[in-house]
Structure 1
Amino acid sequence: MSNRSMETEDELLREMTAFWGGVHSRFEWLLDTQAHFYHHLGTACRAGTCTETRAKCEMV
């Protein structure tokens, strides 16, 4: 059974163009997406709307 969640190095290095013209490798897109989610978690914790436990929110 193949595990498609594991990208090969060639797939991660392949460059893609967004509709607004930005060109990045798939790895860069994944990294930017994770950073964006992390940013929103920190914003929610500071605003007091975080759904995580208080101890986990304070780590952000």
Structure 2
Amino acid sequence: LDQIIIGFDLICDLFDDDADDLLEYFEKTWIGEPKRRGTGRKKPQFDHKLWNIHDRVVATVPR
């Protein structure tokens, strides 16, 4: 699941400033916002385990 955050950060670098609102929404809802104090992130609105099917795809298990 750590790869989700790494992947999101890499994707964000590819967008220009016009996409900031969309990326902020996506981060808050699906990734989890960075904490204002300290390190780490807040919990996203939807837990990564709920929507991430990477492990199921690798194991060739249906959704």
TM-score (norm 2): 0.27
Question: Highest Rg: 1 or 2?
Answer: 1
Q: Which has the higher strand share?
A: 1
TM-score (norm 1): 0.28
Higher normalized contact order (CA 8 Å, seq sep 6+, divided by chain length): 2
